[in-house]
């Protein structure tokens, strides 16, 4: 069985909730990623910050990214998956919540992230097309 750990991009990095959005943007640039999981003081997942969140939720609203924290941008219940979960569970989690990135957790620690690019490398064209249709569907 193919698992989340098999298809994830290893080495995902947290951004602490107290870090500012300008620092988050720098970290995204340095890591060449478009999203970072947000960790609380106990290193528990409390959200995911995307580059779009920074632009739309902060800059476009006239706020200073040097004064807004990642934690302030965390909204809703963060979604994640255990590293030993099957790929069907990964797809179901992403589809049911219409999310495009999914943190992978092992022993209560972040071990990786699954993105659209990871799915594209590990799914058949038919599986990928079905996933895209369901995740990008507007209800």
Q: What is the pLDDT of residues 85-109, one digit of tens each?
A: 999 999 999 989 888 899 999 998 8
Instruction: Decide if domain 4-135 falls under CATH 3.10.580.10.
Output: yes
What percentage of the chain exceeds 70 in pLDDT? Answer: 98
pLDDT band at 53 (very low <50, low <70, confident <90, very high): very high
Asked if pLDDT for residue 139 goes beyond 70, the answer is no
Asked if pLDDT for residue 52 goes beyond 60, the answer is yes
Are 115 and 103 in contact by the 8 Å Cβ rule? The answer is no
Are 105 and 81 in contact by the 8 Å Cβ rule? The answer is yes
């Amino acid at each position: 069985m193919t698992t989340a750990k098999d298809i994830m991009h290893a080495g995902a990095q947290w951004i602490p909730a107290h870090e500012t959005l300008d620092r988050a943007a720098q970290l995204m640039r340095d890591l060449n990623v478009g999203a970072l999981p947000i960790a609380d003081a106990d290193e528990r997942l409390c959200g995911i910050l995307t580059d779009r969140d920074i632009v739309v939720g902060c800059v476009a609203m006239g706020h200073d990214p040097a004064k807004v924290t990642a934690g302030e941008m965390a909204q809703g219940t963060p979604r994640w998956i255990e590293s030993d979960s099957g790929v069907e569970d990964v797809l179901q989690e992403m589809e049911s919540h219409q999310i495009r990135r999914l943190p992978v957790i092992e022993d209560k620690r972040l071990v990786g992230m699954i993105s659209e690019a990871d799915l594209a490398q590990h799914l058949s064209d038919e599986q990928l097309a079905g996933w895209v249709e369901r995740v990008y569907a507007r209800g």
